[in-house]
Amino acid sequence: MSNEIRAIIQKAEETLQTARFGYEDLTSGNRYRRYSGIRNLVVFGRSVTFVIQNLKTPVGSDRFDVWYQPIQEKMKSDVLMKYFVTLRNEILKQGKLPVSTSASVNFSSSDMAKLGTPPPGASGFFIGDQTGGSGWEIELPDGTKEKYYVELPESMAKVQQHFSELPVPDDDDLKKKSIEELCEYYLKELEGVVDEARKAFLGEDTQRAGGKRLPPYLRVVK
Helix %, strand %, coil % for the chain, to 5?
Answer: 55, 15, 30
Question: Is the torsion defined by CA of 202, 205, 207, 212 positive or negative?
Answer: positive
Q: For the CA atoms of the chain, what is the radius of gyration?
A: 22
Task: Judge contact between 107 and 127, C-beta under 8 A.
Answer: yes
Give residue 183's pLDDT: 97
Max CA distance (Å), the chain: 68
Query: How many residues in total does the chain contain?
Result: 222
Number of C-beta neighbours around residue 37 at 10 A:
21
Local confidence pLDDT in tens for the 222 residues of the chain: 789 999 999 999 999 999 999 999 999 988 888 999 999 999 999 999 999 999 999 999 999 999 999 999 999 999 999 999 999 999 999 999 999 888 888 777 677 777 778 888 888 888 888 888 888 899 888 888 888 888 777 778 788 889 999 999 988 888 889 999 999 999 999 999 999 999 999 999 887 777 677 766 555 555
